Amino acid sequence: MLPNASGKVVVTVGRRVKTRVEEEGKIEEINVELPHEDLPPWEEKNLVWVGKGIPRVDGFEKCTGKAKYTYDIHLPGMLYGKILRCPHPHARLIRLDTSKAQRLSGVKAILSQENAPPIPWYNDSFLFDRTLRCVGEEVAAVAAVDEYIARDALDMIEAEYESLPFVVDPEEALRPGAPPVRPGGNLLDGKPIIYSRGEIEQGFDEADLIIEENFSTQVQAHACMETHGSVVNWEGDHLTIWESTQGVSDVREGMAKALGIPISKVRVIKDFMGGGFGSKTREGKYTVIAALLAKMTGRPVKLMLDRKEEFYATGHRPSSLQYVKAGVKKDGSLTAIYLRSIGACGAYETPLFPSKFSMIDALARPYRELYHCPNVKTEVYPVYNNIPVHTAQRAPGHVEGTFALEQVMDQAAHQLGMDPIALRMKNYALKDQVEDFPYTRKALDQCYQKGAEKIQWEKRNKKPGEKKALICEGIGMAGQIWGGGGGPPAYAIIKINQDGTANLLTGTQDIGTGSKTVFVQIASEELGISPKDITITLGDTETTPYAPRSSGSRTVPSVGPAVRSAAADAKRQLLDLAGSILDSKAEDLAIREGQIYLKNNPTRKIPLKEITQKMGNNMIMGVGSRGPNPPQAAINVFGAQFAHVAVNTATGEVRVLKVVSIHDAGRVINSMTLNNQIEGGIVQGMGYGLMEEVIWDKGTGIMLTPNLHAYKLPTMLDIPEVVPGVAEGSDPANNIGAKGIGEPPKIPTAPAIANAIYNAIGVRLKELPITPDKVLRALKI
Amino acid sequence: MKGFTFHKPRSLKEALAMLKEADGKAKIMAGGTDLLGAMKDGIMQPERLINLQEIPDLANIRPDNDRLHLGALVSLHEITVHPSIQKRFGILAQAAQEVGSPQLRNMGTLGGNLCQRPRCWYYRGDFVCLKRGGDQCFAVTGQNKYHAVIEGGPCFIVHPSDTAPALLAMDASVRIAGPDGEKIAALEKFFMTPRDNVTRENILEPDQILTEIMVPLPREGSRGIYLKARERRCWDFALASVALLLNIDDGICQEIRLVLGGIAPIPFRASKAEEVLKGKPIEIELIDQACRMALSGARPLASNAYKLELTQALIKQALLTLSNK
């Protein structure tokens, strides 16, 4: 450890404890070292920077085009990589002739199954495999002096395939005799994933009303503005990778493993990036391919996917079919919830989550957790089909599951003649019923109440579809539960400079959410140094201490407490130094807005700068780590959203006029970035609800929507007025009181819209996306 | 995209000579918003591009006594803001406003909007379909929610243009220049069904250029409307659209031209619906009857029957609006 200002060496005695950490529903027990100091919660009234909507610290760079994305990296002598992809949904590669391409001037290397190391990838397949299970799988790759030559070279590679039987439709894939996507059957691990508590049949017997419905949800693409890709450079045996990623540390670990080199030989850098939404959590095949091509040629290689590849080869939110049966008593209390669901994996199991925590099963979690219900059974069938593998997308599973569950609740309320909010309050869950732990905090009731006020809930149609008109308006709502508690390990370092400024270093990344700004604010708050005097370095595995990938809405609650802990450590050392210079006791001093002052006489103060100037080249370094989560407790983010829609009953067109979005994400660090996340989640959720859909031709396995025209993202004209808000207060789960907000606002958007449509026209839309054809069809029935 | 050479003729004559010389290996380019996308997707691989943008007069808007002359390179944006088009040729201004997005309307031209290739996702995707020289239309048994409900077969594209139905409703004609001189064709005769020729959508030969669109001034008292239904509010082609020109005098329908977009391989003139109303007082019952007749003979595919109701709803809305019902 470092000497502190008084010259003493501070030694942290290792105290290791077990703690429970959740990421997108995957729960792990890990060992963690306790931080050097257990910081008490901030006092609300004293907060200076935390809670403020300060503009992004990197806003200028982004707005002026100075921000460098992976796409912008250009190294001397750099080659361009391109990937040849399989045109068949299921085939065996029987011949590959690269000789013509090899001879094309400007081609420097060709990589394929013939010369690439057998690097294991999905299931039991390899980086380049002779068996290809979906259109778009990697067959070969080229490095050339420019992109055009690389593309031309791909056209000159002769690949011969033996076509194999294939199946695209997930239901068909489950039928006996369906073409096998992989050896061992099309059902993942050969059995459904079952969760059960209580006695489901008894629960239905006790019910006064049974609701039974079928729902289906579509494949949604991430459609990142910046496509996936890497720039790689070898210097000797040291590999540097610029990667558009949500997890620099994960890419480092994955690349070291794939290439069989120590992680200390791999550096991963991500400065700015154009979107990930769950699809950029680890290295891609393209990253490994780029590194191998660079090794072969001794030159840096840039390999960025094009838009079509972005749709084909980077994962998607899986589709689902959900059969739901729920039992309620006359007073509204739930007696039983049953879910049977089929989810499409694509050709492989996503490597992100092993089958025990299958992302396909994630859709069952809201059924198990959102409401108090003694008898719950969920039965999920993850099925292989010949389309590309799915991956995490913003609140995986919860988005699909909540779409169905919240419509079932709305339907139950309607049939019981209850206010949908009253029905939800009747079934309010006071603890995590799966883990049997209390929540650290749950302010969902506040979200319901606040949201209802802001949307003017009383103005909804008392009887759904009661007004007959060309344009019918309606109001609907839905709630959500998500993880988002974060946890260790995560570290941060703060250096205090002679001029009174500070550098904050941490190994997380800002994936566009504003985490740079949020961490600067946290450090400012604790240190008493203005945000403008703090610079932050992240997204670089070589220069920063470890912090986790940005997924599961956990960046702020995981890394934020470590930043605060580092700042507190630095502050303690600063005050020691100030005490020795000012001849006061350190504990009598405090820092606020760059001034050191006496606690009992704040008028006696001295600028921090005058103290730090006296340090010379002695440095103050604060080191912080993320402490454990509270034992025997569940940390969750909750929320409720309300939609006001207008439905054209003649054309079936739906317009979302307004969405009110209130979440319990604990303490707000930056109100502006919080609102950004809410707005972004609603736009993506509305796209999911009304227009976005990846569509495959079932006869060929070819995607019909691999471009930004056929795949319909919402435009500015489609986006409703968004009224964001939070449940007041902080969560005792960690030392900054914050939980994650990245994913939650997406979850209840589509069901709130669907319930609003029901309120408007009295017809329930159970298939996503809710396009005019479906509305017209539903109105006709 | 494959490599190509780029040519900038200074006159129509020069452009026609280049086109003839290229012998089918060239494409002409106006705004390029459709062509460049098709080239990037590998649907077209011309060896030469002949850019018309530097030819004088092709982008002129010229009203004379009884008609409006629009150069084929007039941008869609210009049409939406031109005061006399807004005033006298309102349907066209409305239709142009519904095209794509502001960026596309800035670059896209009227001629290009009429000559654009279909958006069928099989044609635009990795499929060798009928239109691309193959032997089947994949939409017949495939994903066909956007495809033709009438006049389809053997290929089931829909004509994607917004301005074509509006221009047809106004009885426009087009000037076509070719190696043997110029000719004028009624727009009604310009479009071709897949039955006529599955590889193209209009009568333009590879060595011809559409140079001008002429729109007769609608008779006094005529009113027009263009309605478009779609899945998102902009940058989306029509699920169905309706262009209606109506002249009512003394409560009697003197003239009616009703043209439908997004439902057939050509902009579809709903003559049967026109017949129901022409010369008769506009009454609700007749309007309903016209709506029913508009698509008689339609044969929807598995997933596009909704277009029938949708189109009828748009026709009804258009008729009600223009007859002040």
* Residue of A162, A105, A305 lying closest to A225 (CA atoms): A305
Do the beta carbons of residue A446 and residue A424 sit within 8 Å?
Answer: no
Query: Class of the B5-53 domain?
Result: alpha beta
* Residue contact A704–B232, C-beta within 8 A: no
Assign A379 to helix, strand or coil. Answer: strand
Assign A691 to helix, strand or coil. Answer: coil
Architecture, CATH, for domain A70-164+223-312: 2-Layer Sandwich (3.30)
Pick the CATH number of B222-322 from 3.30.390.50, 3.40.50.970, 3.90.110.10, 3.40.50.300: 3.30.390.50
Q: What is the largest CA-CA distance in chain B?
A: 62
List CB contacts (< 8 A) between B122 and chain A: 697, 704
Q: Does residue A499 have a pLDDT over 90?
A: yes
* Residue contact B234–A715, C-beta within 8 A: yes
Written as one string, the DSSP assignment of A481-519 is EE-----S--EEEEEE-TTS-EEEEEB----SS-HHHHH
Question: Which CA distances in Å does A470 have to A185, A466, B282?
Answer: 50, 13, 21
- How confident is the model over A440-459, as pLDDT tens digits? 999 999 999 999 999 999 99
* Residue contact B124–A710, C-beta within 8 A: yes
What mean pLDDT is predicted for residues A140-157?
97
- Residue B216 in contact with partner chain A when CB distance is under 8 A: no
From the candidates B4, B41, B103, B306, which should be mutated to test the interface with A, based on the most A CB atoms within 10 A?
Answer: B306
Question: For B119, which residue in chain A has the nearest alpha carbon?
Answer: A710
Question: For B236, which residue in chain A has the nearest alpha carbon?
Answer: A709
Of A652, A702, A714, the CB nearest to B232: A714
- Report DSSP state, residue B101: -
Burial class (CB in 10 A: 0-12, 13-18, 19+), A651: buried
Q: Does residue A219 have a pLDDT over 80?
A: yes
**What band does A615 get if pLDDT is binned at 50, 70 and 90?**
confident
- Residue B126 in contact with partner chain A when CB distance is under 8 A: yes
**What band does A501 get if pLDDT is binned at 50, 70 and 90?**
very high
Residue for token pair 């199946």:
A167
- How confident is the model over A467-476, as pLDDT tens digits? 899 999 999 9
- What integer pLDDT is reported at residue B200 of this predicted model? 95
From the candidates A647, A704, A717, A765, which should be mutated to test the interface with B, based on the most B CB atoms within 10 A?
Answer: A704
Q: Return d(Cα A163, Cα A297) in angstroms, integer.
A: 34
Burial call A274-299: b when 16+ CB within 10 Å, e when fewer: ebbbbbbbbbbbbbbbbbbbbbbbeb
* Residue contact B122–A697, C-beta within 8 A: yes
Question: For B145, which residue in chain A has the nearest alpha carbon?
Answer: A773
- How confident is the model over A200-212, as pLDDT tens digits? 999 999 999 999 9
List CB contacts (< 8 A) between B125 and chain A: 697, 702-704, 706
- What integer pLDDT is reported at residue A617 of this predicted model? 87
Instruction: Return the structure tokens found at B31.
Output: 């705004």
* Residue of B298, B287, B296 lying closest to B324 (CA atoms): B287
Domain ranges of chain A: 16-67+486-625, 70-164+223-312, 170-222+318-425, 430-484+630-781
Give me the CATH topology for the region A430-484+630-781. Answer: Aldehyde Oxidoreductase; domain 4 (3.30.365)
- What integer pLDDT is reported at residue A10 of this predicted model? 41
* Residue of B317, B231, B270 lying closest to B150 (CA atoms): B270
Of A695, A700, A772, the CB nearest to B239: A772
Q: Which of A353-357, B213-217, B299-303 is the least confident region?
A: A353-357
- What integer pLDDT is reported at residue A457 of this predicted model? 98
CA distance B171 to chain A (A): 27
What mean pLDDT is predicted for residues A308-313?
98
Q: Which amino acid is at B270?
A: A
* Residue contact A87–B124, C-beta within 8 A: no
- What integer pLDDT is reported at residue A355 of this predicted model? 59
List CB contacts (< 8 A) between B316 and chain A: 650
Same fold, B5-53 and B222-322: no
List CB contacts (< 8 A) between B101 and chain A: 715
CA distance A187 to chain B (A): 26
% of chain A residues with pLDDT over 70:
97
Residue A495 has phi, psi (to 5 degrees) of -105, 135
Neighbours of A619 (CB within 10 A): 13
Q: Return d(Cα A415, Cα A411) in angstroms, integer.
A: 6
Q: Return d(Cα A251, Cα A266) in angstroms, integer.
A: 9
- How confident is the model over A661-686, as pLDDT tens digits? 999 999 999 999 999 999 999 999 99
- What integer pLDDT is reported at residue A14 of this predicted model? 59
- How confident is the model over B13-31, as pLDDT tens digits? 999 999 999 999 999 999 9
Q: Does residue A354 have a pLDDT over 80?
A: no
- How confident is the model over A474-496, as pLDDT tens digits? 999 999 999 999 999 999 999 99
> What's the Rg (C-alpha) of chain B?
19
Q: Does residue B258 have a pLDDT over 70?
A: yes
Per the model's pLDDT, the better-predicted residue between A641 and A350 turns out to be A641
* Residue contact B234–A717, C-beta within 8 A: yes
Instruction: Return the structure tokens found at A737.
Output: 């009181």
Neighbours of B31 (CB within 10 A): 23
Q: Return d(Cα B239, Cα B312) in angstroms, integer.
A: 12
Residue for token pair 């008894």:
A202
* Residue of B116, B143, B115, B118 lying closest to B198 (CA atoms): B118
Do the beta carbons of residue B127 and residue B48 sit within 8 Å?
Answer: no
Of A470, A702, A717, the CB nearest to B127: A702
Of B121, B138, B232, the CB nearest to A712: B232
Q: What is the largest CA-CA distance in chain A?
A: 85
What mean pLDDT is predicted for residues A364-377?
98
* Residue contact B145–A705, C-beta within 8 A: no
Q: Return d(Cα A445, Cα B320) in angstroms, integer.
A: 48
- Residue B235 in contact with partner chain A when CB distance is under 8 A: yes
Question: For A651, which residue in chain B has the nearest alpha carbon?
Answer: B310
* Residue contact A699–B141, C-beta within 8 A: yes
List CB contacts (< 8 A) between A653 and chain B: 229-230
Residue for token pair 């007769």:
B216
**What band does A37 get if pLDDT is binned at 50, 70 and 90?**
confident
Instruction: Return the structure tokens found at B91.
Output: 């349907």
Q: Does residue A571 have a pLDDT over 80?
A: yes
Show which of residues 178-197 on chain B sit within 8 Å of chain A, judged by CB atoms. none
Name residues whose C-beta falls within 8 Å of residue B53's C-beta, 6 or more positions apart in sequence. Answer: B8, B29, B30, B59, B73
- What integer pLDDT is reported at residue A315 of this predicted model? 96
Q: Return d(Cα A376, Cα A338) in angstroms, integer.
A: 6
Q: Which amino acid is at A315?
A: G
CA distance A720 to chain B (A): 12
Using left for φ > 0, alpha for ψ between -120 and 50, and beta otherwise, residue A190 falls in left
Of A148, A698, A715, the CB nearest to B235: A715
* Residue contact A772–B231, C-beta within 8 A: yes
Instruction: Return the structure tokens found at B299.
Output: 């044969």
* Residue of A501, A509, A518, A497 lying closest to A544 (CA atoms): A509
Instruction: Return the structure tokens found at A537.
Output: 């370095």
> What's the Rg (C-alpha) of chain A?
27
Q: ipTM of the predicted structure?
A: 0.96
Return the active site residues of A.
Answer: 743
Do the beta carbons of residue A664 and residue A637 sit within 8 Å?
Answer: yes
List CB contacts (< 8 A) between A780 and chain B: 309
Do the beta carbons of residue A186 and residue A167 sit within 8 Å?
Answer: yes
Q: Are strands A637-648 and A471-482 parallel, antiparallel or unpaired?
A: antiparallel
- Residue B134 in contact with partner chain A when CB distance is under 8 A: no
Specify the length of chain A in residues: 781
Do the beta carbons of residue B294 and residue B272 sit within 8 Å?
Answer: yes
According to CATH, what is the number of the domain A16-67+486-625? 3.30.365.10
Q: Does residue B7 have a pLDDT over 70?
A: yes
% of chain B residues with pLDDT over 70:
100
* Residue contact A704–B229, C-beta within 8 A: no
Interface residue ranges in chain A relative to chain B, Cβ cutoff 8 Å: 87, 148, 470, 650-653, 655, 690-691, 695, 697-700, 702-707, 709-710, 712, 714-715, 717-718, 771-773, 776-777, 780
SS (HEC) of A225-236 = CCCCEEEEEEEC
Angle CA A53–A55–A56, to nearest 5: 120
- What integer pLDDT is reported at residue A6 of this predicted model? 45
Mean pLDDT over all residues of chain A?
95
- Report DSSP state, residue A348: S
- Residue B121 in contact with partner chain A when CB distance is under 8 A: yes
A672-675: Cβ within 8 A, 24+ apart: A672/A53, A672/A54, A672/A55, A672/A56, A672/A514, A673/A53, A673/A56, A673/A513, A673/A514, A673/A517, A673/A518, A674/A724, A674/A726, A674/A741, A675/A53, A675/A724
- Inter-chain Cβ pairs, chain A and chain B, closer than 8 A: 87
- What integer pLDDT is reported at residue A16 of this predicted model? 83
* Residue contact A652–B142, C-beta within 8 A: no
Of B3, B121, B303, the CB nearest to A705: B121
Pick the CATH number of A170-222+318-425 from 3.20.20.70, 3.20.20.80, 1.10.3430.10, 3.30.365.10: 3.30.365.10
Half-sphere exposure of A208 (CA within 13 A, CB side): 9
Domain ranges of chain B: 5-53, 222-322
Same fold, A16-67+486-625 and A170-222+318-425: yes
* Residue of B211, B210, B206 lying closest to B48 (CA atoms): B206
Q: Which amino acid is at A305?
A: L
